[in-house]
Amino acid sequence: MSTATAEADLTVQTAEGPVRGKTAGGTRTWRGIPYAAPPIGELRLRLPRPPAPWRDVLDATDFGPWAPQRTRRLLGGASPGTPRSENCLTINVTAPMQPSGDPLPVLVFFHGGAFTSGSGAMGIADGSGLSAGGNVVLVSMNYRLGALGFMDFRPYSTPERTFDVNVGLADQIAALEWVRRNIAAFGGDPGNVTIFGESAGAMSALTLMCIPSAAGLFHRAFLQSPAPSSAYGPELASGFASELLGLLGVGSGGAAEALAEIPANALVDAATQLSKKIIPDAYPGALSFAPVVDGSFLPLHPIDAFEQGRAAAVPMVIGTMENEGTLFEKLDDVLPTNQARIEKMFELTAPGLRDQVIAGYRGYPHKKQAVEIGGDAVFWHPSIQVAQAHAEHAATWSYRFDYAPRTARVAGLGATHGLDLAAVFGTYDSGPGKNLVRLGNKRTAANVAHRFQSALLRFARTGAPGPMWPKYDQTSRRTKIFDRYDRIELDPRASRRKAWDGYRGWR
């Protein structure tokens, strides 16, 4: 490709204006493109608005600032020098170096981070290898987080100042609408869009399947460790909002004015205190920041929507890690991974089911079983609920990711929450991914990553993750196990699955 041609290929005309990218990692990239108006001033805590058009070529060579959040190095989170701003609604595109004659499949990634942290710019989720090796167009974005994106302040609205709910999810829909308008200009096929994500990113994708206004914006979903029960009605959500305002020293009378003026850093500090120090013990198993079942934008709890056949009937892959809870017990203590929290969780959500569930964990209340209960309550069991419900209405595949590099095993983490990010993006050569293989196993990790990536790429191209991976159903419950050697298991953890029967969590 000549220099002139390469430069021309890097300037793309979008519906809003021209953008110029750069080459990086063997791909063409465009970073930090506004997909919505800055959510500041009068637009703080309001639904996203369309971006203002521009005439001059926009420099799209660097990532936009991350949403306001605390410094969090875990799995490549924000460092002290990471730019952060409320003006964060930007989108990134990565495409293969050589343009294709035919439109390419589009993968849209939603980052995780408990709806309080993360960014589309996280190094562990660098999409250059996935795009170049898979011949796909990869999209990532930033969306509003924490109190600014996933808290219900509607009860504090006044005639002068109105607040909306689920604005972080609405940001994601605005990003998908941008993809529909613009991705063809980057070589992508707007008629073949796969949404995928990990943790809160997977929960985002799963929730979008249940939001009417997102219908038709995507065609497949690949969900890595979602927390499907982590969506709450207005009563619980407004209680969390009241707790946050209390931490800020704000009374209900002046809340509207305060919410309009409080610095983002103060909101982040209060949100961190709420999510780390208060909610885990007061409401074990609940997350401080999560989608709100408001009855209109999100009409039903996601699990209810799947069970009633009202979720988008698109092909879906859903799975969890073998040891979801260990990350939280050792590094991020927010789950019910100890006896006190577990007992309180059942007392507040389903006291009549406590003995039934505990019977599935021989050895409880020993730490190992307590940690397993915490991970299963938030991630594994509700994911099984979604898989078995969706399988009645659309093609569904289930997996469990069991592979853990030696570093993770030595640390006592095993195949824990988030370790599949390095696998799906193939980023074992840098940052947190490199640390995972510093004690060896690099070749094995790369082999597992290749198989996991290949399943995602086949799914994006064809709507099925591969011929050696049978669909999930409520009879055989065939599940793909990703490990040093992959295998198919029938109804893995069957006795444990039955032990959770009837549990509904914080709904």
Q: How far apart are CA 384 and CA 52, in angstroms?
A: 43
| Contact call for residues 437 and 407 (beta carbons, < 8 A) | yes
Burial of 13 (0-12, 13-18, 19+ CB in 10 A): exposed
Angle at 221 between CA 238 and CA 397, to 5 degrees: 115
Structure tokens at 462: 């064809």
Nearby residues of 275 by Cβ (< 8 Å), 6 or more positions away: 114, 116, 287, 288, 289, 334
- In the residue annotation, 324 being an active-site residue is answered as yes
Q: Which helix H or strand E contains 12, and what residues bound it?
A: strand 11-13
Measure the CA–CA gap between 59 and 388, rounded to whole angstroms: 46
199 is catalytic: yes
Say whether 225 is catalytic: no
Rg (CA), the chain: 22
**C-alpha–C-alpha distance, residues 344 and 388, integer Å:** 28
Number of residues that this document lists for the chain = 507
| C-alpha dist (Å) from residue 432 to 25, 281, 331, 446 | 18, 30, 15, 15
- Annotated active-site residue in 199, 204, 288, 383: 199
* Active-site pick, 86, 198, 324, 372: 324
Q: How much helix, strand and coil, in percent to the nearest 5, is found in the chain? A: 40, 15, 45
Cβ atoms of 209 and 314 within 8 Å: the answer is yes
Catalytic residues, by residue number, are: 199, 324, 417
